[in-house]
A and B are shown apart, each in its own frame.
Chain A
Amino acid sequence: MILDWLPPTLIGFLLVLAGIGAIRRMNLWRAGQAEKVNILAGLLAMPKRYLHDLHHVVERDKYMSRTHVATGGGFVLAMVLVLFVHLFGVKSEILAWALLAALVLMFCGALFVYKRRMNPPSRLSKGPWMRLPKSLLTFSITFFVLTLPAAGILPEGTGGWVLTLVLSVLILMSLSEMLFGMTWGGPMKHAFAGALHLAFHRRPERFGGGRSTGLKPAVLGEASHGVAKPTDFKWNQLLGFDACVQCGRCEAVCPAFAAGQPLNPKKLIQDMVVGFAGGTDAKYAGSPYPGVDVGNAKGAPDQIITNGLISSDTLWSCTTCRACVEECPMMIEHVDAIVDMRRFLTLEKGETPNKGAQVLENIIATDNPNGYSPASRTHWAADQNLNLMKDVKQADVLFWVSDGAFDMRSQRILRAFVKLMKAANIDVAILGDEELDSGDVARRLGDDAAFQSLAKRNLATLSKYSFKTIVTTDPHAFHCLKNEYGDFGSDALKGVEVLHHTTFLNRLVKEGRLQLDTFKGGKVTYHDPCYLGRYNGEYDAPRELLASLGIDVAEMERSGYRSRCCGGGGGAPITDIPGERRIADMRMEDVVSTGAEMVAVGCQQCTAMLEGVVEPRPVVKDIAEILVSQLSEEVNS
């Protein structure tokens, strides 16, 4: 047979090309900043991360997860066997049969991919991705036919050179997609970059059921701060961007996108890829940033990102609700990237939009975002008879009041919580005027210098006193204390349990220290605050508390880890990027659609945002407020 050499040569040739592409791609990533990663452990952990953690996320969409297992699994298996059977020419019927089986599996999977691509939802990218199912089908059919002789089903040489030639063309077509495209920027890139991304992920704690949500501290005092150019990202962040499959799940859950603000997490990640690979976004075939046309963005590895690649409004639209990160099957860290770029805008350019500049200035000069007198922080508690840590030096529980102390609405929550603690006879104290803003807003606005200064001073104050537990009614402060203060080398919080007040109250109720009457009001739903739920995984305590009052929570369609943001996080109300709708209004629509008369919340920021929706609307109450109104009188007296 004259042309027998052709298929193996083609396979080999494309493999070499793929190898070259892989090296080029890796060099693009290596242009990023150094970050220490345990390469070997990462590679060893990769299969488990892929099969377990990633699959866990993909599994939320059953159709896609099965399709992907069949297609992806079939392809990987088939590709390995193809190498043995067709490239190295191993003569084994068992291998050939196995290859055939793998190809059939892949073919079935690819059929479902094809079916889905018939009428794809808007969140999916089109363009080259529409070609992928055809390539997959071509690959499986081509190699199926090619393998038939090796499996002994067809005699060698069937079809003659014509068939071989036809098959060779098909091999060229499908393998170009599968191997060449994998490392040269085609849709299959996700398999190559994705696998490595899982191996060298910047937050390995996220795998194996862990959680890692705290932002990484910025290094201060260098020639520049934050991410200005694509190459200012860590190399494994760049790798992470490359892993994107453009499935658009992030887009579907993004509150800013839904509100018509100029942010689409998927496009953002794609723009990052355009940035470090160079070029324009003309080939992007998914939904644009709302109100921004595709095709005008240009990027290069050493070009300032906000000069032509993306507009700063895109970055400031994010509420850091982490819905995109939670939903991403590739475990890409959108929020990290956004805050990194915000750091550049704030720390280097001084371009925090709208009220941002003033808020940051206030935080620096008065340790609270609204510029109130630091000496008035404890005014709310004038009639509360609370111990000050300054006087008592130690207590079982330290109540971290947070900046709600200055806000009249939030003070109602604080008072309710204090009343509950008194009813349960808790030995509690507050820091009083020694407490400072947790730094949450400053950090999300990109001013890590102000955040670190606050964090260090707060830690210094905390280290003066002894307590076993910190409780706070503010999930943002809770998140900072629990997940972000650990980076500053202080022992102040060592061995201290940091709790959100719902968790704490739930324990009290379970221990029987709070006697509560059954709630007799109407239907109640519960809104999961992002910084309590997605950031800290506390979905149960608030629900158990409500259940303890006899409330059967009427769940919203988007609740739990899929809860929609109230629009109040990440400094979004401060930067105030215009959209078509308000995020809080959409969330209130979610509430209304359950028919609830009251929405229970566990966050003062959510309370403020949801109460900002024009009446008539359901009542908004913090769980502490609901509990306090059900407190049995006998305990009170």
Chain B
Amino acid sequence: MPPKVNVVSLVSIGRHPQSGRSRRAEQDGRAVELGLKLSKKSLTVVHAGDAQEPVLRQYAGMGLDSLTVLPQPADGDALPILVDFLKSSKAQVVLTGVRAESGESSGMLPYLLAEQLGWPLVPRVAEILTIKQGAAEVLLALPRGQRRSVIVSLPFIATVDNAAAEARQTAFGPGLRADFKVLDVNSVKDEAMATWQISAAKPRPKRLKVVKAKTAADRMKAATAKPVGGGGKVMKNETAAEKAQAIFDLLLEEKVVR
């Protein structure tokens, strides 16, 4: 994709939803994948955090020769150091996931970076189609597989949606051998976070269906009526056309056929 674009992918430590174990974050992995597609080997992958974290080897195993680490304590604020880094790196496209899988996972980081760098931000990108003449054509992911096309001027920050191309397999060997460039940066403590109380997620109460019956008879009915369901309707003896009509009515009712 000429001319050469300087792409930076920001990665964080993910969290497996079932085991809670560290992993390559789903969206960040896609950000690296998209970055590799755009700029092949010249992609810069940056992590702000612990350089010893073994999960970084999983990112490196996607075929990165090196990975840049801006060392940070767990309670550090990644924003200022990333702003400094991006300013000095002459990045043109910065890719991240929409939300981190660990920490606050607020999804604010890309917005704050964009604000401080004065760059535009494209949210929930599914694909970057072209980059030419200082602008990129980007496809945004909308719900249910829909897409929107947007043109954005360089440099910009994009958050990568789950609809983007899946991250390639991570290979053990290259990951093990990749070179980690650990930069010397000052870390800034995230003061606000220290005042928070963090606990394991409580299950959210399910919203109950409140019966708004105005009369005694209605309330009686609501209390004694059998729950709907328990085996659907089965059509056996009707004609094929009638059966098809029944199906089609259901499709219309559910608004999947419009």
A binding-site residues for B, Cβ under 8 Å? 220-221, 223-225, 346-352, 356-357, 360-361, 364-367, 371-374, 447, 449
8 Å CB contact of B23 from A225, A356, A365: A365
Contact with A along B168-186 (1 / 0, CB 8 A): 1111111011000000000
Min CB distance, A442 to chain B, in Å?
Answer: 11
Binds A, one of B14-22, B88-96, B103-111, B117-125: B14-22
* C-alpha spacing A357/B171, complex, angstroms: 9
Residues in A with CB closer than 8 Å to B71 are none
* C-alpha spacing A349/B21, complex, angstroms: 25
* C-alpha spacing A561/B218, complex, angstroms: 72
Residues in A with CB closer than 8 Å to B169 are 346, 350-352, 356-357, 360-361
28 A-B pairs whose Cβ atoms sit less than 8 Å apart in the complex: A220-B172, A220-B176, A223-B177, A224-B173, A225-B172, A346-B169, A346-B172, A347-B172, A348-B173, A348-B174, A350-B62, A350-B63, A350-B169, A350-B170, A350-B171, A357-B168, A357-B169, A360-B169, A361-B23, A361-B170, A365-B16, A366-B16, A366-B18, A367-B19, A371-B16, A371-B18, A374-B18, A447-B172
User: Given A350-B62, A350-B63: A366 and B19 within 8 A (CB)?
Assistant: yes
8 Å CB contact of A225 from B19, B62, B170, B173: B173
* C-alpha spacing A347/B175, complex, angstroms: 9
Min CB distance, A333 to chain B, in Å?
Answer: 23
Pairs A-B, 10 closest by C-beta atoms: A350-B171, A357-B169, A350-B169, A373-B18, A365-B16, A348-B173, A366-B19, A347-B172, A449-B172, A365-B23
Name B146-197 residues within 8 Å CB distance of A. Answer: 168-174, 176-177
Residues in B with CB closer than 8 Å to A346 are 169, 171-172
Query: Are the CB atoms of B18 and A347 closer together than 8 Å?
Result: no
* C-alpha spacing A365/B55, complex, angstroms: 10
Min CB distance, B24 to chain A, in Å?
Answer: 8
- Given A350-B61, A372-B18, A374-B18, 5 other A-B residues pairs in contact with their CB atoms under 8 A: A224-B173, A352-B169, A360-B169, A366-B16, A367-B19
Residues in A with CB closer than 8 Å to B172 are 220, 225, 346-348, 447, 449
Min CB distance, A588 to chain B, in Å?
Answer: 31
* C-alpha spacing A349/B16, complex, angstroms: 24
Residues in A with CB closer than 8 Å to B63 are 350
* C-alpha spacing A445/B175, complex, angstroms: 18
* C-alpha spacing A366/B14, complex, angstroms: 13
* C-alpha spacing A224/B176, complex, angstroms: 10
* C-alpha spacing A224/B150, complex, angstroms: 43
Min CB distance, A224 to chain B, in Å?
Answer: 6
Closest to B21 in A: A365
User: Given A365-B16, A366-B16: A347 and B21 within 8 A (CB)?
Assistant: no
Query: Are the CB atoms of A348 and B171 closer together than 8 Å?
Result: yes
Residues in B with CB closer than 8 Å to A360 are 169
Residues in A with CB closer than 8 Å to B173 are 224-225, 347-348
* C-alpha spacing A383/B170, complex, angstroms: 40
Min CB distance, A445 to chain B, in Å?
Answer: 11
Query: Are the CB atoms of B61 and A365 closer together than 8 Å?
Result: no
* C-alpha spacing A223/B176, complex, angstroms: 9
Residues in B with CB closer than 8 Å to A225 are 172-173
Residues in B with CB closer than 8 Å to A220 are 172, 176
Query: Are the CB atoms of B168 and A350 closer together than 8 Å?
Result: yes
Min CB distance, A371 to chain B, in Å?
Answer: 6
Residues in A with CB closer than 8 Å to B174 are 348, 350
8 Å CB contact of A349 from B24, B171, B177: B171
Min CB distance, A231 to chain B, in Å?
Answer: 18
Residues in B with CB closer than 8 Å to A374 are 18-19
Most buried by B among A221, A364, A373, A374: A364
Min CB distance, B119 to chain A, in Å?
Answer: 32
Contact with A along B54-96 (1 / 0, CB 8 A): 0000000111000000000000000000000000000000000
* C-alpha spacing A538/B168, complex, angstroms: 41
Residues in A with CB closer than 8 Å to B23 are 361, 364-365
* C-alpha spacing A357/B29, complex, angstroms: 13
* C-alpha spacing A453/B15, complex, angstroms: 19
* C-alpha spacing A372/B19, complex, angstroms: 8
Query: Are the CB atoms of B21 and A366 closer together than 8 Å?
Result: yes
* C-alpha spacing A167/B171, complex, angstroms: 62
* C-alpha spacing A347/B18, complex, angstroms: 25
Min CB distance, A281 to chain B, in Å?
Answer: 28
Closest to A371 in B: B18
Query: Are the CB atoms of B19 and A365 closer together than 8 Å?
Result: yes
* C-alpha spacing A356/B19, complex, angstroms: 20
* C-alpha spacing A631/B53, complex, angstroms: 54
Min CB distance, A70 to chain B, in Å?
Answer: 51
* C-alpha spacing A517/B83, complex, angstroms: 77
Residues in A with CB closer than 8 Å to B62 are 350
Min CB distance, B26 to chain A, in Å?
Answer: 10
Residues in A with CB closer than 8 Å to B61 are 350
Min CB distance, B218 to chain A, in Å?
Answer: 41
Residues in B with CB closer than 8 Å to A357 are 168-169
Min CB distance, A246 to chain B, in Å?
Answer: 34
Most buried by A among B24, B63, B173: B173
Min CB distance, B65 to chain A, in Å?
Answer: 14
* C-alpha spacing A441/B145, complex, angstroms: 33
Min CB distance, B172 to chain A, in Å?
Answer: 4
Closest to B61 in A: A350
Residues in A with CB closer than 8 Å to B24 are 361
Closest to B24 in A: A361
* C-alpha spacing A504/B63, complex, angstroms: 47
* C-alpha spacing A470/B56, complex, angstroms: 37
* C-alpha spacing A225/B170, complex, angstroms: 14
Closest to A347 in B: B172
Min CB distance, B42 to chain A, in Å?
Answer: 19
* C-alpha spacing A357/B170, complex, angstroms: 8
Name B26-72 residues within 8 Å CB distance of A. Answer: 61-63
Query: Are the CB atoms of B19 and A373 closer together than 8 Å?
Result: yes
* C-alpha spacing A261/B62, complex, angstroms: 29
* C-alpha spacing A374/B21, complex, angstroms: 10
* C-alpha spacing A355/B169, complex, angstroms: 10
Min CB distance, A433 to chain B, in Å?
Answer: 11
Residues in A with CB closer than 8 Å to B171 are 346-351
Min CB distance, B177 to chain A, in Å?
Answer: 8
* C-alpha spacing A374/B20, complex, angstroms: 10
Residues in A with CB closer than 8 Å to B21 are 365-366
* C-alpha spacing A548/B19, complex, angstroms: 44
